[in-house]
Structure 1
Amino acid sequence: MTGPAAAAHHDPGLAPLLLTGFEPFAGDGHNPSWPAAQEAARRLRDRGVRAVAVRLPCSFAGSTEALERALAEHQPGTVIACGLAGGRTRVAVERVAVNLQDARIPDNSGAQPAGQAVDDAGPAAYFSTLPVKRIVAALRDAEIPAELSLSAGSFVCNHLFYELMARADTGSVRTAGFIHVPWDENAPRRTVPVGAHGDDRACPEPWPTVPGAQLAEALVIAALEAARPASDLDVPDGPLY
């Protein structure tokens, strides 16, 4: 058997899979990454996969501390972290975590680093060890809008991605990476300026969304692909700019 379904025959003796999502931030009351991670873990357990979901605080220092606690408690073999990328129209499988914190807005604890390193002694970047191209292809086959992404930004998502990869291939973790999701159907409405000169007038406008059920299924597919003992796809899929 090949494809994501093959991983349904998961050995319960293997190290568990850890999915993480974030709490709301920037004044919003919802963050779709957390319910997606929760539902994906439930669906994976229904398929015989040892999976657990953990919610992380949306703060630079707090997310690292919570990640370390989760790694110590659950000793996962695979970790897939998930965060919100409001405005994106596709599930974005991130490829690179960069050693940079440059926050346009404060995190939930009020921290707002400007051009600082995640780790002064760390490398410039880490690559995801998930089969990123295989995951994108599997999501597209499932008719879930998906793309390969080369930037997780420079806010808490990228920070957490970098800290996760710094801990990958140590302890129990062997495979890890980050996935950004768009807003789901519970997205708030955004206020955008109108008029030729971007004056004070504004109008509410919906964010691009993907149904929450699809976001959860995207994480399920990513987890099952990560569990398959197969190489990543050897096909070109990089952006031109």
Structure 2
Amino acid sequence: MTTILLTGIDPFNGETINPSWEAVRALDGETLGSARLVARQLPCVIGEVGGALVAAIEEIRPDVVLCLGQAGGRADVTIERVAINIVDARIPDNAGLQPVDEPVVAGGPAAYFSTLPIKALVAALHAAGIPASVSESAGTYNCNAIFYALSHHIATRRPGLRGGFIHVPFLPEQAVRHRNAPSMARETLIEAVRVMIATTLITTQDVKLGFGSEH
């Protein structure tokens, strides 16, 4: 049986929930087709999160890893294309630390591309009526640290593993505290994860569609 590791993140920056964890924990233990879904919560602690992710991968030995994170202010599900080897934290993490201009992995490459079929995922989400886009930047905070650590582990230790990072909007109960912030319903986020899993499992070659940035 195929195993899918789903990860979400602790609440941070004064929030009491994190939509990424709310979405994936709802699927923990489910079977989707021939795939077993396993969810793990990762810390919003930049210096620890990569090790926590690698430990989960080595424990579960998944075939695919979908890491999710909160992107307050974004209006859709955004599939990240590029992880970069830099931490430049705008705010302290949950350990009270704020690393600036430090590598995620010392001596690692400047960047990695996702090994998920990112454009096929966007197309499948659109077909399901869920707003989605390709994102060219996962930021320089905890989410990018997760994405880079995953990509580095794949490149150096698990070349057969497929994985990547997806940002999701606030939940409505968060957005009411942030003036004009967009949100997405919990049920829609959960369905989005199901769609992305199913699409990844049947897609070996990404599609060529013009979802790139104008800037």
TM range (shorter): over 0.9
Cα offsets for 1:111-141 (capped at 9, x unmatched): 1111111122111100000000000000011
1:34 to 6, 17, 21: 21
Kindly indicate whether the alpha-carbon contact (under 8 Å) linking 1:136 and 1:148 is maintained by their aligned counterparts in 2.
yes
Secondary structure in 2 matching 1:179: strand
What amino acid does structure 2 have at the position aligned with 1:114? V
What is residue 200 of structure 2 aligned with on the other side?
A: 226
Q: Distance in 2 between matches of 1:71 and 1:172?
A: 13
Alignment of 1:1-241 (within 5 A): 12=1, 14=2, 16-42=3-29, 44-45=30-31, 47-169=33-155, 170-171=157-158, 174-187=161-174, 189-190=176-177, 205-241=179-215
What amino acid does structure 1 have at the position aligned with 2:11? P
- TM-score normalised by the chain length of structure 2: 0.94
Cα offsets for 1:139-176 (capped at 9, x unmatched): 01111010100000000000110000001153385100
Cα shift at 1:49: 1.8
> Which contiguous aligned blocks of 4+ residues in structure 1 show a shift greater than 4 angstroms?
none
What amino acid does structure 2 have at the position aligned with 1:67? L
Q: Distance in 2 between matches of 1:127 and 1:73?
A: 24
Secondary structure in 2 matching 1:51: strand
- Structure 2's unaligned 5+ residue stretches are none
Against the structure 1 CA distance between its residues 133 and 103, is the aligned structure 2 distance closer, same or farther, given a 3 Å change threshold? Answer: same
- TM-score normalised by the chain length of structure 1: 0.84
What amino acid does structure 2 have at the position aligned with 1:21? G
Against the structure 1 CA distance between its residues 57 and 231, is the aligned structure 2 distance closer, same or farther, given a 3 Å change threshold? Answer: same
Against the structure 1 CA distance between its residues 107 and 227, is the aligned structure 2 distance closer, same or farther, given a 3 Å change threshold? Answer: same
Residues matched between the structures, number: 214
Q: Distance in 2 between matches of 1:38 and 1:47?
A: 18
Q: Distance in 1 between matches of 2:177 and 2:92?
A: 19
Cα shift at 1:69: 1.7
Cα shift at 1:94: 0.4
- Structure 1's unaligned 5+ residue stretches are 1-11, 192-204
Cα offsets for 1:169-192 (capped at 9, x unmatched): 53385100000000112215446x
Cα shift at 1:48: 4.2
Q: Distance in 2 between matches of 1:126 and 1:48?
A: 29
Whose Rg is larger? 1
Kindly indicate whether the alpha-carbon contact (under 8 Å) linking 1:148 and 1:238 is maintained by their aligned counterparts in 2.
yes
Q: Distance in 2 between matches of 1:178 and 1:46?
A: 20
Percentage of pairs with the same residue: 41
Q: Distance in 2 between matches of 1:104 and 1:87?
A: 15
Kindly indicate whether the alpha-carbon contact (under 8 Å) linking 1:91 and 1:147 is maintained by their aligned counterparts in 2.
yes
Q: Distance in 2 between matches of 1:149 and 1:29?
A: 26
Kindly indicate whether the alpha-carbon contact (under 8 Å) linking 2:175 and 2:182 is maintained by their aligned counterparts in 1.
no
Q: Distance in 2 between matches of 1:88 and 1:229?
A: 26
Cα offsets for 1:175-228 (capped at 9, x unmatched): 00000000112215446xxxxxxxxxxxxx252111111111111111111111
Q: Distance in 2 between matches of 1:211 and 1:75?
A: 31
Kindly indicate whether the alpha-carbon contact (under 8 Å) linking 2:54 and 2:153 is maintained by their aligned counterparts in 1.
no
